[in-house]
Amino acid sequence: MTGAAGPVAIPPILQPHVAALRGAAHREPLGLYLHVPFCKDRCTYCSFVTTRDVQLQSAVVARLVAEIRVWGEALGRPAVDTLYLGGGTPSLLRAEELAALTAALREAFDLGPLVEATLEANPGTVDLAWLEGARALGWDRVSVGTQTLDDELLARLGRIHGAAQALDALELCRRAGFQRRSGDLMVGIPGQDLDRVLGDARTLVGTGLEHLSIYLLDLDKACPLKAEVEAGRLALPSEDEVADVFEALQVELPRLGLLPYEISNYGRPGAESRHNQRYWQLRPYLGLGVSAASQLGTWRWTETSVLPAWLEGRGETELTELDAAESLAEIPLLGLRMHAGVDWEGLRAEGRRRNLQPLVDSWDEQLRVFGAQGLVTFEGPRVRLTDRGRLLSNAVFQIFV
């Protein structure tokens, strides 16, 4: 493995806060996210930070290993209870690169409390030996980028695999010993209809996977698919059609045994993603790698999204420290995404403790209006979105922005 291309150190903007970050990192176990920024080809809708330049792969892995060590030492080898290897395409890592990253994680952090270690895999890049190797290293959950089981739509999305390969990948994961398998289902693809999505959902759940993430195709940023739509060569489904699909999935997936636990995520009981839940429950996490985001104490930061700058250690890290009102607003803003909702009485008490009672009162008033419209429901001390509220959640979330 080659050496990292630039010095590896805690970003200067974070250095004054290291002692406080270390304190926050020892209050409860962290989640750790690693970003692997490689893909074999670029999907037509993608806005993630990825590259096809595999020449950079060993330098990126070396730098990630170095970052793991630097952060582990700076934070005093804190406990970690969830790991997530995302991207990009982590399944493009060579077996020895995955082993090097895993070994560095074990040395630099206390993985004693680990309850979940997820890696993302693209169906076009997995084989049994690689998956067995990953499983032997301790990775115990795999998220397979299935998206849709329609070959024509997969080609439109620029995916490097067909539907049969996606189903084969799920089976290979099972044979490699991954009992915890998740798939993705994308909604809103030009040319996709309700029957197609429901059929895919049934087929995917029929493979025995325990978890499904439902994504709405997002064309906010410039990408080839957006250009096709803007040029009138492809048409997106209407908002009503998309809402119908989400509504139908809310009925069909529980019937298949996958229960909603977050706006976009369904799982068999006990199969919820522990790592992803920490984002909505405001539990701390450290993200390493280009464009990775972190949350520790009241600090939020994001690494540069410019790969050469990150590799050379000269990227800008964006840091935000939330004030009392902002961090209070995060609780309902993220917590309402969860099916279990938010402990509203607890939030009221926290508002009083922070002298922010008028703010909570104003949220309460607005939520009651949404309650009258059937979008939220107050149940005992908790408030949560209704099925209809989940379809119109952005309107509710505006209260807290």
Which residues here bind ligand SF4, judged by CB under 6 A?
A: 39, 42-43, 46, 48, 50, 87-89, 122, 145
| C-alpha–C-alpha distance, residues 390 and 370, integer Å | 12
Given a contact cutoff of 8 angstroms between Cβ atoms, the answer to whether 214 and 204 are in contact is: no
Nearest distance in Å: CB 145, ligand SF4? 6
End-to-end CA distance of the chain: 45
**Which residues fall within 8 angstroms of residue 122, CB to CB, at 6 or more apart?**
39, 40, 89, 91, 92, 144, 145, 160, 161
Q: Beta strands 299-302 and 293-296: pairing type? A: antiparallel
Shortest Å, Cβ 37 to ligand SF4: 8
Q: How far is the CB of 49 from ligand SF4 (least distance, A)?
A: 9
Task: Please report how close the Cβ of residue 169 comes to ligand SF4 at its closest, in angstroms.
Answer: 13
The CA-CA-CA angle for residues 200, 158, 275, to 5°, reads: 60
Nearer to ligand SF4, 88 or 284 (CB): 88
Distance of alpha carbon 362 from alpha carbon 357, whole angstroms: 9
Of the pair 218, 323, the CB lying nearest ligand SF4 is at: 218
Choose between 66 and 212: whose C-beta lies nearer to ligand SF4.
212
Q: How far is the CB of 89 from ligand SF4 (least distance, A)?
A: 5
Closest approach of Cβ 200 to ligand SF4, in Å? 17
User: Which of left, alpha, beta for 326 (phi over 0: left; psi -120 to 50: alpha)?
Assistant: alpha
DSSP string, 338-352: BTT-EEHHHHHHHHH
Nearer to ligand SF4 (CB atom), residue 145 or residue 351: 145
**Residue among 50 and 109 whose Cβ is closer to ligand SF4:** 50
Query: Between 82 and 89, whose beta carbon lies closer to ligand SF4?
Result: 89
